[in-house]
Structure formats: structure tokens, C-alpha cells
Structure 1
Amino acid sequence: MPGEIEEAQHVHRGEPAGNRLGRIAPPRLGRSCVFYAAAQGDSGQRHPVGLGTDAFEVNQYRPFQTLYWAVTGKMVGGRVVNKHTVSREAALIAHTRNNAYQFFRESDLGSIQPGRFADMVVIDRDYLTIPADQIKDIKPLMTIVGGRVIFDVAKESSP
């Protein structure tokens, strides 16, 4: 329906293993309706799909694990729980631009452009080219919010 927005968290597809996996009926385990249109190459999705890690009481607050799940369909342990995966680019857009849209902030958040907040993360490897199974292992080196460095691993590890 027009005006609807969908959001997906990898916990809803079987993470963490053990306590939630048994609650998902086997016929439903490999399907994610949120990603089905994107997996079929439907670039004209009716609803922007966002990826998130906001519910850290029940989910891991690690965006690269969510990206790993969206791209590979696997839980962190390697078990495939979602056969409808998306490209790395689509997963990244879901985690950035689409989330900005969900918060009615698409004019100043979600992408690096003139006139927008300079919120970004510098990572230890190339998300777009590393083997997909390594996406979950990506580590931040620096985080910049509003153009200001708020985390720098080099400064954190120096005496």
C-alpha cells in the first residue's frame, strides 16, 4: 500500500540461533517477504525496505552482521535462514538511504552529498569486494558524525 514502510532485522529470521530458530515454522524459515521483491530484481519496489539493529535487547547492535544476513541469507553461525537475499548495494541502501527516508530525514541523512550531515564510518576492508562470508567481520576504524570524528581506533588503541 502507498505510504507503507518495511524494516527488517536479522533476529526475525532466526538470529540468535537456539532460542528463536525453533519458533519459526520450517516452511517459513527460508522466506523473507521484505526482501522478496528485491531478490526478484524488482527495482520499482512499492515500499522502501530498511535494515536495522535498533532492538539490541533481542538483536546484535552490529550493522555488518545485518548486512551479512541480507547479502548471504545466513546467520552469523553460517546456517542459511533466508533464501531471498539482496545485492550488497541494495543492503547498504536499505541500511542508509532507506532508513533516512523512514525517519523523514532523506533531505539531510542517508547519503554523502553536499548540504547533508557528514555521518560516515571508515571500515577495515572493502565491503563491496570482500568475500560475502567476511562481511560480518568488518570492523570500524573511524566514525564521523556531523563532520566530527567521534571514534578513531588509532586513538583508542594508543597509550
Structure 2
Amino acid sequence: MSDRRIRAATDDDWPQIWPFFAAIVAEGETYAYPDDLTSGQARDLWMERPPGLTVVLEDDRRVLGTAKMGPNRPARGDHVGTASFMVDPAAAGRGVGRALATYVVDWHREQGYAGIQFNAVVETNEAAVHLWQALGFEIVGTVPGAFRSARHGRVGLHVMYLPLG
């Protein structure tokens, strides 16, 4: 029987997050993080502090994915949230991304955010673009050639937005 749940991430989760975090960054298709991040540097980038939050989706104590969320900008921009997601490639196609995305939207709504803005969704990441659009996000603009995809060369970065009001 499965024991799938989403909960706040702790430092004890990092040893399970780091291998797929490193693999996803090394693939060069979705995140503009440096390829030479150490585990400690990556942990510092990923593990949010309040008012933000990092969560994991685990199944039988195995971390299958993670998301971080919080204000997109400080001060006068903190009423709009943002988030980032990583799913262990071994768990692809199991609804992990959708479950985390739904959690993130609900969390932002409960926290009183006016909307959620994704600053840099790689246009060739079709699964993510489709998921966000299915959840009501709109592409409000695309910066042409702003991401150097390992597979496709220079591709656009979408700015996507979901109003929560």
C-alpha cells in the first residue's frame, strides 16, 4: 500500500533530493543553475526559508519530487508568488508534478497571494508548459533565445501567470 504525501522538506531530505537535482541541472534542459554547484550550494538555493517553503512529495519514505515556493519579489512585489519544481526522472509520468503543482497553487491561495508568476519556463519543456496551462496559467510573454538548451540551442523562456484573486 502506498503512503504518498506532500510535506515540508527538512535538511534530512536533501540526500534524496540532491541526486535528481544534480541530474536535472546536468541535463541542461530546464534550469539555468551552474553545472558545477556543490551539494551544499544547491541546498542553499533550493531550501527556502520563511516566508517561503520547500516541500517534498514522498511515497513510502522515498522522495519522488520537490517544490519551492514563496514571494516572487521582495517588498512591493511580495503579493505575487513564484515556485520551482523538480521531479525525480525515475518517477516521471506518475502524477508527481501535477500533485506538487496543485499543492503550490493551493498554498499560495491560502497564504493570500494575488497570483503566481513563473519567470523562466523553458519553451521546449513541453510537459511543464502543458501542465501549467492545464492549471490555468497563461504565457504572458516569451524572451526569445534566453535559455541555452543542451539539446536545442537557444530557446525562449516563457513568463507565465496565474491570477488567484
TM-score (norm 2): 0.30
TM-score (norm 1): 0.31
Larger radius of gyration: 1
Structure having the larger proportion of residues in strand: 2
